[in-house]
Structure 1
Amino acid sequence: MAIWNNLLSRRQAAAVMVGTALSFGITSAASAAEGQLRIAKQFGVVYLLLDVAAEQKLIEKHGKAAGVDIKVEFLQLSGGAAVNDALLSNSIEIAGAGVGPLFTLWDRTKGRQNVKGVASLGNFPYYLVTNNPNVKTIADFTEKDRIALPAVGVSVQSRVLQWASAKLWGDKEFDRLDKISVALPHPEAAAAIIKGGTEITGHFGNPPFQEQELAENPKARIVLNSYEVQGGPASSTVLYGTEKFYKEAPKTYRAFLDALDEAAKLIAANPDEAADIYLKANGGKGDRKLLLQVIKNPEVTFKVEPQNTLGLGQFLHRVGAIKNEPKALSDYFFTDPRIAAGS
């Protein structure tokens, strides 16, 4: 299995965007193929299901059980925009990003590539953390502050921040904080919050970076919890793909879901082993004790069934961020018995 741990340079990412711009709205001529599975993931414990599936070779295992040899490759990116570009340029079959980027792509490809969700990666509370002592709520951020997140106006962190802004200032002001938001990978943003002394005074991140910030900088505090905005536990990070892959590679698709399901059970039964797998997949970097704290957090659940995602999509439609209104999970997730009971 080839695992690419390098983050695309800005130049490479720009090249991908150009290629995507040319093909946006045009169904790729390339055919989806059984046995080919290229997956884009990002940073954080939220991708632990993929790390476990990779380490245990669960996708290959379930593929063989279904009579197909699956070649699995992982591409590591940062930000929903880059992940969406990779999917539309036919560089990957499975995109791993926030539910915000899923809604963006579902909306823009409806009637063409028909991108939909495949599975959730679990429920995780995302924290907007600040090291600015003057910031107690999002209303306290000023022009002098900068809020780091994976992709401005696209990532789930950005969309949740917009939702929170709309609740505070009204729908017409939903993107009020976009102008002081900057795109930055989680590791770099976390380092800025911990060290201090930079223009980055806020970071809307994910585990374990947010916990690391709170543990290593005594001035760091939580300004916003995504669960508070979303109305409870929610699947903020998901996996999605094109209708072509769903229809033309059914054995590979099912083997992938089977592998994720098994990975979720392994994490629940053996959190210590799961923590070791995460550390190995990320070059041994990280505090194991802090990592276990995240995995065992009662607010965290590893599962493939999406939960509490519809509200964000309806908000995005209400403020005009997407044209099509999602009315049920089946509108933006592919059909599967393990997904059907989600929300």
Structure 2
Amino acid sequence: MTPPRLLPRSTRRAVIALCAAAGLLLHGAARAAEGQLRIAQQFGIVYLLLNVAQEHKLIEKHGKAAGVDIKVDFIQLSGGSAVNDALLAGNIDIAGAGVGPLFTLWDRTRGRQNVKGVASLGNFPYYLVTNNPAIKGIADFTGKDRIALPAVGVSVQSRVLQMASAQLWGDKEFNRLDRLQVALPHPDAAAAIIKGGTEITAHFGNPPFQDQELAANPQARVVLKSYDVLGGPASATVLYATEKFRSESPRTYKAFLDALDEAAQWIARNPEQAADAYLRTGGGNIDRKLLLSIIKNPEVQFKVRPQNTLGLGQFLHRVGAIKHRPEALKDYFFDDPRIAGGN
């Protein structure tokens, strides 16, 4: 084999200088990432931790304590697919979506972007609500019905409905109701259920939209509860990020988690003020009394430690929706003392 030819010394010096300059630029880029935080959130009171953090500037507060000025941008999106696309495109740093989209992206990015969970937003019961009097359970849906949810086959609502279908008809029929699903933002879906007279006859939503539907339309009733499908209280909505963001922005990452943890404790102590914070940060047109009843609901828990998420991930692997089987929380959530002990 012919030995490789060495470059002339002058050329080697130039290459070394260019590499050194590139290294400085890369180091500068990594450092520049500290202090930038773009967070995608969707609709509903399940994002109250972010609302409180935004209202009280908790992320900025904890950033300054760590010696970094953090510029925080909150970006409103709808549906796990849109959130996942934004994260992979580098348009956001933290994704807020259901645990279903997290499992999808964790599975797809293993060995590459290595997307994992950052924190839970709490435990919330999700209701499948219908305004069709003929529907008593999911077996009563027909081809004439349409079920609105954030993203077909990806959102946590869609995944829970698949899990319920598998429990009723067997794993081979897990996606039996996918053909009836329609992607629609929660506010629009709630309006359709309340008003009636549209092709939308059911909505798998989240608080407060499901509660508004039940309060405003006498014909609306609950067909399915997520807690019944998942076997108890569960963290249906979570936050997640790429490994690159976590490694390049450790102080920003920690400040974000510190802020979330403080927001959770503050909400538990101040439910009335938390309701006002939600209304001020774009909570929409909702009766304050109804909102407060949701925040105080014993089934609702605001906390950053995930609970009862592993079962859904293992179900998705069992039916072939994801390739890799999660065995423990550490597989799909980043390590952190506040997250440890979750499941």
> What TM-score, normalized by structure 1, do the two folds share?
0.91
Q: List aligned pairs for 1:94-133, cutoff 5 A.
A: 94-133=94-133
Label 1:283 to 1:341 Cα distance change in 2 as closer, same or farther (>3 A): closer
Q: How does 1:246-325 map to 2 (within 5 A)?
A: 246-282=246-282, 285-325=285-325
Q: Is contact 1:52–1:277 with CA below 8 Å preserved after alignment?
A: yes
Cα separation, 2, equivalents of 1:160 and 1:181: 13
Which residue does the alignment assign to 1:220?
220
Aligned match of 2:149 = 149
Q: Distance in 2 between matches of 1:48 and 1:254?
A: 19
Q: Spell out, residue by residue over 1:125-173, the C-alpha distance to the aligned partner (whole angstroms, 9 max, x if none).
A: 0000000000000000000000000000000000000000000000010
**SS state of the match for residue 81, structure 2?**
helix
Matched to 2:97, the amino acid is: A
Question: Identity of paired residues, percent?
Answer: 80
Q: Any conservation in 2 of the 1:129–1:210 contact (CA below 8 Å)?
A: yes
Deviation at 1:245, TM superposition (A): 0.8
Give 1:12's aligned residue. Answer: none
Deviation of 1:61 after TM superposition, in Å, equals: 0.1
In the alignment, is residue 51 of structure 1 matched against residue 51 of structure 2?
Answer: yes
Q: CA deviation at 1:286?
A: 1.3
Residue in structure 2 matched with residue 136 of structure 1 by the alignment: 136
Secondary structure of residue in 2 paired with 1:277: helix
Q: Is 1:207 matched up with 2:212?
A: no
Residues 35 and 252, structure 1, Cα contact 8 Å, conserved in 2: yes
| Cα drift, residue 56 of structure 1 | 0.1
Deviation at 1:45, TM superposition (A): 0.1
Deviation at 1:283, TM superposition (A): 5.9
* In structure 2, distance between residues paired with 1:49 and 1:286: 18
Task: State the shift of 1:204 in Å.
Answer: 0.1
Given residue 88 of structure 2, which amino acid in structure 1 is its aligned partner? L
Q: d(CA) in 2 for partners of 1:313 and 1:290? A: 33
Deviations 1:281-325 (A, max 9, x none): 116521101100100000000000000000000000000000000
In structure 1, list runs of 5 or more residues that go unmatched: 1-28
Secondary structure of the residue that 1:326 maps to in structure 2? coil
1:168 paired residue number: 168
For residues 188-207 of structure 1, the aligned pairs below 5 Å read 188-207=188-207
| Paired residue total | 315
| 1:86 pairs with 2:74 | no
The ranges of structure 1 where at least 4 consecutive aligned residues each deviate by more than 2 angstroms after the TM superposition are: 29-32
Contact 1:32/1:245, CA 8 A, preserved across alignment: no
Q: Distance in 2 between matches of 1:291 and 1:40?
A: 23
How far apart are the structure 2 equivalents of 1:145 and 1:99? Answer: 26
SS at match of 1:305: coil
Q: Give the whole-Å Cα distance in 1 for the aligned partners of 2:285 and 2:196.
A: 21
The runs of 5 or more residues in structure 2 that have no matched partner are: 1-28
Q: Does the aligned pair in 2 maintain the 1:31–1:244 contact within 8 Å?
A: no
AA aligned opposite 1:263: A
Aligned equivalent of 2:41: 41
How far does residue 246 in structure 1 lie from its aligned partner after superposition? Answer: 1.0
The offset of 1:32, in angstroms, is 7.4
